[in-house]
Amino acid sequence: MQPKISDIQVLSEEKLKVVFAADIPDRVVPISFVGMFGLRVGMTVSPEILDQLAQAEEVMKAKAYAKKACQTSEIPHSKSEIIKLLQLQGFESESIEATVLDLEQSGHIKDQVFARKWVDRRRKSTPRGKRVLRFELRGKGVDTSTIDHVLSEVDESDETESALRISRKYARRYKSLAPHVAKRRLQELLLRRGFCYDIIQRVTATLETEKS
């Protein structure tokens, strides 16, 4: 026997609750479903419509969860990270796809913005060269074209300044070492941080000039 709607409760301008007379869970769905399916009290609901109501409710829950994650985090989330968060919560792939599309359209997910903020954070706190930044952004699920575009905006003089700032900091720590050992350690440090050979050579020359 197909269930009947016993009540429809408007919860907000965007959603409503559909209450069933039978032993079926209430469904919170977009208010647009009233017109889409002609929902009304006393209406007998087919299994197909029941499935669509259940799917719509899950999508709404997924969107609410993802938006809260975006709004409460100081660090923006990439598209890949949002997908992983929703997967961990057990949402179905269809709900995740609909949620990600909605968040992209609403501006909650913008991988280019995410990548720029990630690079800026790194530059201010723990500077990295482009090679390591590229690796980190890939690990965050940012696509190659976005990474290329964002890293192309990083001025070489800024990257050199970051490398110089690190070198000055560690040069003080290596004061007790023999000059050639200190130089080698600084170069190895900059290589691990992802700076290119030209920048390392430039920074090393600058430090040697400052010492003289």
Reported as a single tens digit per residue, the pLDDT across 61-73 is 998 888 888 777 7
- Taking residues 90-104, report their average pLDDT: 88
- Taking residues 126-136, report their average pLDDT: 90
The C-alpha atoms of residue 143 and residue 145 are separated, in whole angstroms, by 6
Handedness of CA 136, 137, 138, 139 (dihedral sign): positive
pLDDT in the model for residue 133: 93
Chain-wide mean pLDDT for the chain? 87
9 compared with 141, residue with greater pLDDT: 9
pLDDT in the model for residue 77: 76
- Taking residues 95-103, report their average pLDDT: 87
Instruction: Look up the pTM and report it.
Output: 0.57
**H helices present in the chain, as ranges:** 33-37, 47-72, 79-88, 93-106, 111-124, 130-139, 144-152, 156-173, 179-192, 197-211
- Taking residues 26-48, report their average pLDDT: 89
Residue 212 has pLDDT above 70, yes or no: no
Model pLDDT for residues 175-207, shown as the tens digit of each residue: 888 888 988 999 999 999 999 999 999 998 888
Q: Which of 15-19, 47-51, 80-84, 110-114 has the lowest mean pLDDT?
A: 110-114
The C-alpha atoms of residue 63 and residue 44 are separated, in whole angstroms, by 29
The C-alpha atoms of residue 108 and residue 125 are separated, in whole angstroms, by 25
